[in-house]
Amino acid sequence: MSALLSYISSFALSFIDKTGYAGVFVLSVVESAAIPIPSEVVIPFSGFLAAIGRFSFWPVVILATLANLTGSLILYWIGKSGGRWIVERYGKYFLIHKKDIERGDAWFKKYGSSAVFFSRMLPVIRTFISLPAGIALVDFKKFVILTFFGALPWNLTLAFIGFKAGENWGLLHDYFRQADVFIVILLCAGVVWYVFKHRRH
């Protein structure tokens, strides 16, 4: 897994180096559409390139944020169109029943705005929140606004760190990777708890 992540990161850096701003946009779209291109590599590296004069700082931040919105919309529409139908029809085979879907709808109705906004600043979760938001039919205009302004501070922070760290920007990736691992462990624990609870019932 570590070797795979290193390969993906190397590819991302090479792609940005060759394609410039377009590479930042494409990779950020892909990452927000749940394909594992780490923004913790893409954006700090772009911030570093801004520090040495190849990029400009604010265009990197805005471009990455718009790209995050674009990729998130792809997942949102997948969830809203086919995703909900699949969950309603085949969810029972994965221990997801009608009551679970109704609870999810109620939860998103109550906390959806906060979830969409704050999840944009959390590793791993920020990539996937768009799919359940679409399945739960979160209001489209609200989703767009919250996604943009949730992704903005994330990209601003990463770009600023890369800008200030200079050639040492790559050292930050190890810290972010530890955060990714921690969140994945929490998510796996949640899945195990969910399965245990439903099988018992």
Query: What pLDDT is attached to residue 1?
Result: 47
pTM given for the model: 0.76
pLDDT for residue 14: 86
Which pLDDT value is given to residue 79?
86
Report pLDDT digits (tens) over 105-126.
Answer: 776 777 778 888 888 887 777 7
Q: Which tokens is 81 given?
A: 């169109």
How sure is the predictor about 174, in pLDDT bands with cuts at 50, 70 and 90?
Answer: low
Structural domain for 68, as ranges: 2-200
Q: Out of 106-120, 140-154, 178-192, which region has the weakest mean confidence (pLDDT)?
A: 178-192
Average pLDDT (183-189) is 55
The total domain count for the chain is 1
Query: What pLDDT was estimated at residue 184?
Result: 53
Mean pLDDT confidence for 61-78? 94
- Identify the band that residue 148 occupies on the pLDDT scale cut at 50, 70 and 90: very high
* pLDDT of 194: 47
CA angle 184, 188, 192 (to 5 degrees): 170
| Residue 86 confidence (pLDDT) | 64
Measure the CA–CA gap between 128 and 60, rounded to whole angstroms: 23
- State the pLDDT confidence band at 159, using cuts at 50, 70 and 90: very high
Using 50, 70 and 90 to split pLDDT, how confident is the model at 44? confident
DSSP string, the chain: -HHHHHHHHHHHHHHHHHHTHHHHHHHHHHHHTT----HHHHHHHHHHHHHTTSS-HHHHHHHHHHHHHHHHHHHHHHIIIIIHHHHHHHGGGGT--HHHHHHHHHHHHHHHHHHHHHHTTSTTHHHHTHHHHHHTT--HHHHHHHHHHHHHHHHHHHHHHHHHHGGGGGGHHHHHHHHHHHHHHHHHHHHHHHHHHHHH-
Q: What integer best gives the mean pLDDT of the chain?
A: 78
Model pLDDT, residue 42: 86
Residue with more model confidence, 192 or 146:
146
